[in-house]
Amino acid sequence: MTITLNHSLHPTDTQAPALDQRFDAAGAAWRLLALHARSEAAGEPLSMQEAAQRLRSQVRWPTGHGRIPQRSGAAWRAEFNPVADDEGWTALLGRHALDTLVAAFRRTLRDVGAQAPLSAISATPPSGLRLRALVRPVSSLCVEVVGVGPVLAPVFTLPGPAGLAVDVWRQQLGVRLRETRETLTRRLLAGDAQADEEYLRHVARYGEMEARLAVPLAAPCTGPVTLTFLEEAELEQCVRPGEPAQYRVHWNFRISDLAQPPDPGLIAVDPGIRTLYAWATRYGVGRFDSPLSGSWVAPLPAPLRGQVDRVLDVGLARLSRQELLHCRQVRPVLDAATSLFLGHRYLALEATDLAGMRRRQLDYPAFAEFSGLDLHMQFLREVVRHSDGIRQGLDIGPAGTTVDCAACGGANTMRYSGRLGRCTACGTRRHRDENGALNVYTRAARQLGWAA
């Protein structure tokens, strides 16, 4: 059972073009595969080398209908890999990432079917294409992207069990790199000529990373789930019209141990800002209030007077501040929420539409990313989804959860002054987030066929 969690990267102005270059290479490789497949389907087969030459000129893409080629991944790679080496794609992406690209292309051919219009073989990769084995979590503040270097990323927002799994992996990687360097050092000082080149290659490749892998020993995990970090991380490019490309990294974890939930009942959860989570069970309601108190928004630092003017690394400063607030204030609250929520057999979570909120330029998505709340909700859903039947998750639509009265069921009858509300139909007074959690509970109970 493998769960995947994703969060954003924050490349500098010089790193972003290098990341773009990798996805441009993936797009060029995809076009080569598509032209090769279309030509074969049209009855005018080309070798991979010939298709690559065609792409350098004004290529005419075959049209009409044809028999879509279907062959094994090994057969595709045998034809594709030599051209990828010549075009420089292997040097940019690595063999593993290219293998996953070929596998994704084969899946699209299977989806197209045996006979289809040739235009069904898209000349561009599908949205959400991910490049594998290019990213490593080398510190709490940054990841290493192969060929690009350390890129700022909020690795510290990974929920407790996931963060622990990453720390264990980083410890093990640090030990392996240190042992390798020590072995090469002994050989070099003993006059081993071959070790000379191997030592230089090791330090050139891992020198900066080794300095970032000094992590404390991880504490044993005693929570409801134990995870093991898998090295098959994936890099995704997110492109929105009129905006520069953004990047996300997807971490993969294997569930190595999962405790049985002690409570067989239902817990309903309503995420928010001032209240990180409000929850309701058959016993009552409660809240995990946000400890940030609005301080998650900060001004840009200004240069100090009387000092030589220098470039400020604002990205690092902001991320360091975010790490401090998250680790000291937010993480203890989210850890307590993890234990409570995953201690129940049924978890109902309000299906917050973060993408729609971003389009409407609301501030909740920015808060959810800053606080780690969006990553925590990903984590809860993934753990429940892969709980092998011992837990069940329910997504509840957000419409009306705040304005409908949870006591009498009146639609749009709650009126609020600050955080406290009163129902105009029955007179019930209740905190707005607790009212939302109770509505989520009622709707989830109905889905389960229970009397709320």
Q: How confident is the model at residue 207 (pLDDT cuts 50, 70, 90)?
A: confident
| 129 neighbors 105 (Cβ within 8 angstroms) | no
| 325 neighbors 162 (Cβ within 8 angstroms) | no
Topology annotation, domain 260-301+314-448: Nucleotidyltransferase; domain 5 (3.30.420)
Weakest-pLDDT range from 8-17, 301-310, 314-323, 369-378: 301-310
pLDDT tens-digit series, residues 148-193: 999 999 999 999 999 999 999 999 999 999 999 999 999 999 999 8
- List % helix, strand, coil for the chain (3-state, nearest 5): 45, 20, 35
Q: In the predicted model, is pLDDT for residue 211 greater than 90?
A: no
Task: Give, in order, the Cα–Cα distances in Å from 155 to each of 53, 133, 253, 343.
Answer: 42, 17, 14, 26
* 373/87 Cα distance (integer angstroms): 42
> What pLDDT, on the 0 to 100 scale, is given for residue 128?
84
Residue range 75-87: average pLDDT? 94
Q: How confident is the model at residue 52 (pLDDT cuts 50, 70, 90)?
A: very high
* DSSP H/E element including 284: strand 284-289
* 339/379 Cα distance (integer angstroms): 12
* 337/286 Cα distance (integer angstroms): 11
> What pLDDT, on the 0 to 100 scale, is given for residue 447?
94
Average pLDDT, the chain: 91
Give how far the C-alpha of residue 358 lies from the chain's centroid of Cα atoms, to the nearest Å.
Answer: 17
> What pLDDT, on the 0 to 100 scale, is given for residue 414?
95
* 444/27 Cα distance (integer angstroms): 43
> What pLDDT, on the 0 to 100 scale, is given for residue 220?
61
* 223/228 Cα distance (integer angstroms): 14
Q: How confident is the model at residue 241 (pLDDT cuts 50, 70, 90)?
A: confident
> What pLDDT, on the 0 to 100 scale, is given for residue 321?
93
Domain ranges of the chain: 8-129, 135-231, 260-301+314-448
| 364 neighbors 274 (Cβ within 8 angstroms) | no
What pTM was computed for the model? 0.89
CA neighbor of 265 nearest in space, from 334, 343, 381 = 343
Q: How confident is the model at residue 307 (pLDDT cuts 50, 70, 90)?
A: low
> What pLDDT, on the 0 to 100 scale, is given for residue 219?
61
